[in-house]
Amino acid sequence: MSDEHHNHDDWFAHTREEGLPQQEHSGHVDTKALLIFYMGMVAFVVVSVIGVTLFFQRYVLGVRQDRLETLHLAVEANEYKATTLAELGQYGWSGETVQGAARIPIDEARAKVMEGYGK
């Protein structure tokens, strides 16, 4: 190895005339620059938190709306199902498909059909 790799450059060189202790290199802190950097980081974090909060609230609102719409349709379907099951268990007139047709309870209709196949 050559000696040039072991010697420091002039940046580290000090003479006796400079006196002791030597002033450290880059020892001065620019507090204004650090304050600006810190405030920038704080602003970035605040904006990020606000953005994520707004996004989350909008997402949750959309999910809630989807569920309410789904529940609204389910309520209507359940009411229709309950009405239809109640009609299937009663005597009545069914004028929707055939005019003047009578309706008997479904259990009784099943029993009559089974009797017809049992003979």
If you write DSSP's letter for every residue of 78-109 in order, what string do you get? HHHHHHHHHHHTS-EEE-SSSTTEEE--HHHH
Task: Tell me the CA distances in angstroms from 116 to 105, 107, 110, 112, 119, one per residue in order.
Answer: 17, 14, 10, 6, 6
pLDDT of residue 87: 84
Q: Domain limits of the chain?
A: 28-118
pLDDT of residue 35: 96
pLDDT of residue 77: 86
The parts of the chain modelled with pLDDT lower than 70 are 1-14, 21-27, 95-98, 119
Q: What is the pTM of this model?
A: 0.39
